[in-house]
Structure 1
Amino acid sequence: MPSPRPSSLVPVFTMLALFVTGGCTGKGLVEPRREVPASEAAEQPIQAEAPVPGGLGWVTTSGSVQLEVLPQFEVLDRRTGTLDLQLLLRLRGMGEVTGERPPLDLAVVLDRSGSMAGEKLLAVKQATLDLLKELKPQDRLSLIAYDSDVEVMTDRMLVDEAGLKTARAVVLGLDTRGGTALGPALYRGFEIFDPKTRKEDVLRHMLLLSDGQANVGEQNPQVLGQRAREGFGHGVSVSTLGVGLDYNEELMTRLADQGGGRYHFIPGTDAIPRVLSDEFAGLVATVASGIEVTMQMAPGVQVRQVYGYAWQETPQGASILVGSLAAQQVRDIVVRLQVNFGTGASGQLALGTVDLRAKDQTQQGKPVEGKLALSAPTSTDPEQIARSERTEVTVRVAEVESAAQMQAAAVAVDGGDYDRARKVLQDGVVALEKQHKATPSPKLVKQIEELKEAESGLDAARQSAEQAKIYGKKSKSKAYKLGK
């Protein structure tokens, strides 16, 4: 394993920044700044700042979002002709945590199918009532209940004193019946968020709760996920809450990923306060929403994998949905590139560009854009290559890979293959311990403990079908959160 790079090594991974002013669609260099008359100031788009050195790399800020791109190795090894290069895209919400947020336009989509009878419906009612406590008089609330049919109980109702009273009565009056029209309910939620009639400075967010499998209307996770992605493009984020042990986590995680929100697992009523606190912590301090990163790669460079986030291949690279950022929140996204050097390649190699788009909620939802052009030197000197390693990227790569192993073990348990699940987890522990020896990190220690705990839970999972379901849901939920 290469040793960490000495701090005296000069950074050699070049990021040339070309920026576009917020809201513009063309590409070009930023013009020199001029004094703006007070009468024009309110109409000026947000200007992306020029890149500045960030310790071991380069950082740029567009409005309320800071973007940093870090390679695992700053000098590329061209000895084999083809190289896998891990990049870390680090996004940070700028500003201070004030406890204030823009007005919220919230749709809560509630499952009241027959399978929700009993404790699960009580859990959903409790979750929704607790949710109402977090809303403010300027917020709007849509309550949508679904069984075999879909019913809009409140339509963008102001959550003032009268609205709060109405919402509580609606929630407490819910009963169970029929099938699970999850797809039609999702579609109805997006219809409420008509992009033609909404203000940019309002956060539009949907919370979807379900305990089971969609069995009425559209049921295909890919189709429903694509609809969530389209909604994201219109400024609507989606978070999902899986209740109990029988819901389709593939569908729920896909909706949250494609919708730029979060996925939560609610095993019982005792988990509700923690889940809602986690969900609303981000909303309260949101400084940027609708964040999307687009990578346009140079010839010979391809995006092979994006870990933990919804992404789509494009003819030149990839489009990655990030969602929102709270003040001082950091999202680390690992991207694996394949670099083909070609015959006679040497010197500096252009890798492509990274484009950032977002809506700055500190500036009434004004669009912001930024662009980084990436290039790196190449070498055949193993010592130079080893010295250029950025170990923080190496550690993050190990984290997302172990998250994938935890997910694979849970899938093996779903199929009853406990021996495979144990081997996957043990192999993961061995790999992490080896990595920790080379690059000591508290994060790796924590992840080793997580995998060992997952392995120790296999014996309990064998005892019954219910315990196996609990194991699978918990493990997949942990893996999902680690990937974020």
Structure 2
Amino acid sequence: MKKIMLTIGLATACLANLFAGETLQLKLVPDREVVLKGSPQEVVVKIDLSAIAGKKKSRRTPLNLAVVLDKSGSMTGAKLEKTKQAAMQLVDRLAPNDIFSLVIFSDHAEVLVSAQKIEDKNALKEKIQSIRADGSTALYSGVKMGAGQIEEYLSSKRINRVILLSDGLANVGPSSPRELRRLGSQLAERGISVTTIGVGDDYNEDLMAALAEASDANYYYVKDTEKLPEIFARELGEMLSVAARDVRIEIICPDGVQPLGFIGRAEKFESQKASVNLSQFTTGQNRYLFLRCLVNGSKPEVARVKVNYTDELNGGTVEVADDVVKIRFTEDRDAADKSVNGAVVAQKEIMLTAVAKDAAMAQADAGNYKQAAQILAAQGGALNRAYANAPATVQIQLRSELDNISNFTNQFESGQYGSGSRKMMQSQSYNSRNSK
């Protein structure tokens, strides 16, 4: 019997070693495998990260959650009632070891529920139900106060998250996207991410997106208040199914390769090196970056990529994945043309569509609707050219983007582009650029 048990134990250990570090799988795919010799050429590399699907967590990562709610006068009625319903349903799904706090803001911010473990859910829900709408929108103070509650129990062994909901313009205290982005970056450095939920068509979407993007969190545009409980449930569901977090991607390009940057992202290269931080991956989630490089030489290596992350499916250990992307050189133009990867080219164009939407919004903000329409029309042509060589699954995405571009172009040309259109376009761009 002891011998059998020993054999089983050894087999279990081998399986553990086999799967350890495989929660995040890294693939590097260039948009072409063969490049013509003799002249500098751009190569785009898809840095593809996917979290393993179908593997159950050995433990539930406890949450440290601060909900920050706008209770200004504009929230009166269905907005506030649906918000309270969503928050109460969230409380119902929390576990005893989770930390919950609630901050409300109007003319000023105040802590309605201080950071605490979940002991009396009914008492927490009574606090939520008591919220009444009035006053202005001290959004910055609300976020800072919510982060302060998170810091009471801040721990690398918890998922530390602020969920901010607002329907209006920040009009008390710091209120620019730059100031909110700076706050988001400061919180991200301390391990706190800020998900933002904008309700209706009157809030500042640039501010809400900047705050979320600074910590690689989610940004939601909610036009229909009936969907608020669904949004809160989705956000909580993601936190409960985190497979990997604190993901740091390091990219090094060798001499002879000029890194041009990432499509749709602000991170820069210094001395041939760059790093990108992503907050988390849920089980089965796929996220990716597109690295642009100018290749001018004969060496095959384009870039080395190393990924460090906390593996929540393997007991919170720190794991590493790495890979090298290489190409070949030829004097045969046909061979170079045949090596083009249609899927990567099409996905690159989808990412460039997000960049085009941002550029079109900037033109529309300046009143240049004709130029905005032209930007989208040009990108629509690029999507159409990529369609023929794309696999069927990517063609579905291309058709969706073509429909979106056509819709926004028609709005620019007909004078129907408004606040809701801008929020929808920015939401689409945000989700594409951050592969959400």
Q: Deviations over 1:291-347 (max 9, x none)?
A: 1212222234344332455635444332212221111211122222233x2xxx32x
SS at match of 1:281: helix
Runs of 4+ in 1 over 6 A off after TM superposition: 46-49, 460-465
CA RMSD of aligned residues (A): 3.1
Q: Shift of residue 199 of structure 1?
A: 4.1
Q: TM-score, with normalisation over the residues of structure 2?
A: 0.85
8 Å contact kept, 2:64–2:99: yes
Aligned partner of 2:424 among 451, 459, 474: 474
Q: What is the distance in 2 between the residues matched to 1:310 and 1:108?
A: 28
Task: Output aligned runs, 1:63-78, within 5 Å.
Answer: 63-78=22-37
Aligned pair 1:368/2:348, yes or no? no
Q: What is the distance in 2 between the residues matched to 1:48 and 1:261?
A: 31
Q: What is the distance in 1 between the residues matched to 2:305 and 2:399?
A: 33
Task: Output aligned runs, 1:443-454, within 5 Å.
Answer: 443-454=394-405
Q: What is the distance in 1 between the residues matched to 2:136 and 2:274?
A: 38
Q: Shift of residue 244 of structure 1?
A: 1.3
8 Å contact kept, 1:64–1:288: yes
8 Å contact kept, 1:123–1:268: no
Aligned partner of 1:202 among 158, 164, 180: 158
Aligned partner of 1:293 among 216, 229, 249: 249
Aligned partner of 2:54 among 76, 91, 96: 96
User: 1:436 is matched with which residue?
Assistant: 387
Q: What is the distance in 2 between the residues matched to 1:418 and 1:475?
A: 14
Q: Shift of residue 48 of structure 1?
A: 9.8
User: 2:125 is matched with which residue?
Assistant: 168
8 Å contact kept, 2:136–2:172: yes
Q: Shift of residue 210 of structure 1?
A: 1.8
Q: What 5-or-longer segments of structure 2 have no aligned partner?
A: 1-8
Q: Shift of residue 241 of structure 1?
A: 0.7
8 Å contact kept, 1:201–1:364: no
Going from structure 1 to structure 2, the CA distance change for 1:406 and 1:155 (only over 3 Å counts) comes to same
Q: Deviations over 1:125-149 (max 9, x none)?
A: 2332332233223321111112232
SS at match of 2:39: coil
Q: TM-score, with normalisation over the residues of structure 1?
A: 0.77
Q: Shift of residue 70 of structure 1?
A: 1.1
Aligned pair 1:242/2:201, yes or no? no
Q: What is the distance in 2 between the residues matched to 1:189 and 1:314?
A: 35
Matched length: 421
Q: What is the distance in 2 between the residues matched to 1:297 and 1:227?
A: 31
Q: What is the distance in 2 between the residues matched to 1:165 and 1:276?
A: 19
Aligned partner of 1:270 among 226, 232, 235: 226
8 Å contact kept, 2:376–2:409: no
Q: What is the distance in 2 between the residues matched to 1:214 and 1:166?
A: 30
SS at match of 1:208: strand
Q: What is the distance in 2 between the residues matched to 1:128 and 1:303?
A: 45
Q: Shift of residue 248 of structure 1?
A: 1.8
Going from structure 1 to structure 2, the CA distance change for 1:461 and 1:108 (only over 3 Å counts) comes to farther
Q: Shift of residue 108 of structure 1?
A: 0.9
Going from structure 1 to structure 2, the CA distance change for 1:302 and 1:323 (only over 3 Å counts) comes to farther
8 Å contact kept, 1:312–1:320: no
Letter in structure 1 aligned against 2:371: R
Aligned partner of 2:113 among 138, 154, 170: 154
